[in-house]
Each structure stands twice: as structure tokens, then as C-alpha cells.
Amino acid sequence: MKRSEINQILKDAECFLKEKNFLLPPWAYWNLEDWSRNKKNAQEVINNMLGWDITDFGSGDFNKRGLFLFTIRNGKLNVDKKTYAEKVMIVEENQETPMHYHWSKMEDIINRGGGNLVIELYNATKDDDLDNTDVEYKKDGVKGIVKAGGKVILTPGESITLEPGMYHRFYGEEGKGRVLVGEVSTVNDDSSDNCFYETVGRFPVIEEDEDPLYLLVSDYKNFL
């Protein structure tokens, strides 16, 4: 992805978050000078990969297959005491986050406002394939069941609990508008806890055609 494309996505996300009255912590808007001055005291932000996160999953087409995320809080297993994580995401109409599950993480995906979020579900087999068994889930604590590959639609205010080993892909429902999505989970580790059904790239390869508006979590190792 070009840095200019990433910067524009960040600007659009800022506007949408403000429209929905969703506020981010002050360090979200630090420039490189701010980071340099605060780096020593911001090690949890850096080490636990808090902050801006944009991916096209290696597709080269963010609008078709991509996701905007901001990790607000997160622990680090066997390092600190925090056992939980929280993210906010923006999902466009028909913008796919591809099929995947987590070996360890348990998460609630929450429609915080905007359009409807469509989630397709499968159970995982022992060899990481898609099982053909019915999928049991809970929407806001209420049990439900769908056939393998079935869809659960979250309208604003609704949430679903995704357990480890539950394959899921999601996208915004066509004609309903972009969706503000929340995630509350156990500790998040994108480096070792994602099992994608097909090979994808989790973090973008960036062509630096302009300066970063804000650092992404994948930028920390290169800029700090």
C-alpha cells in the first residue's frame, strides 16, 4: 500500500470516529517529535502494539478486502498483568475481512453504530479446514445456531461472542452504510494467534510516497 493511501484512510477514519463521538487517547495523534519525547514512558503502547492499524490483507485492494483498526488497550502474555484487549474498527459495505479463527483469543464483536455487520461462521476441523457441522454462538448472551457458513447479522447495538476455533469472516451489509465495530477480547496477538483459511498478509508492505500522518503499529519497529 502507498503511504498516501494509508494517510487518506486515516483521515477518513478520524472523520467517521468524530461523527460517531468515539474519542481516542491523546497519544493517537502524536507526531515523531512527540514519540521521541515520550518513548520511554510509552513502552506499553509500543510493545503491546496499541494504536493505528490498517491492512489490505495483501490484496492490493483495501476497499474490497481490508480493515481499519485501532487497538486501544492490550496486554502481553507472560509479560504484564493485563489479560484483556479492546479495539475499534471501521468496516465498509462489502469490505471483507477474510475467513480466520484464533487459537487462543476469545472475543466479542460489537456493532457500535452505522450500518449492519454480516458475519459468516464455520467450526474449524482439527486440521484447520472448514467443518460442515452447525455452529453454535451467542448474540448478546442469547444462544443461536446456524448451518456451516451461515450468516449472523449484527445491527447497531448487537454483539456476538466468537470462541477460539470458530472460523469467521465479516463485511458491511450492502446498502446499509459503513459500520463502527468494537472488539472486546482476551489478549490480542496478531503475530501468532491468527489462523487464516487462505494465505494472506496481515500487515501491509508500505511504499513511502509521503510522510506518515500517524504511525501505524507496524511502523514502530522502523521509526522508534
Per residue in 56-88, pLDDT (tens digit) is 999 999 999 999 999 999 999 889 999 999 999
Per residue in 162-180, pLDDT (tens digit) is 999 999 999 999 999 999 9
Domain, as residue range, for 127: 3-223
Amino acid at 127: D
CATH number of the domain that residue 132 is part of: 2.60.120.10
Work out how many domains the chain is built from and give that number: 1
Per residue in 87-134, pLDDT (tens digit) is 999 999 999 999 999 999 999 999 999 999 999 999 999 999 999 999
Q: How far apart are CA 219 and CA 224, in angstroms?
A: 8
Residue 183 confidence (pLDDT) above 90:
yes
pTM score, whole prediction: 0.96
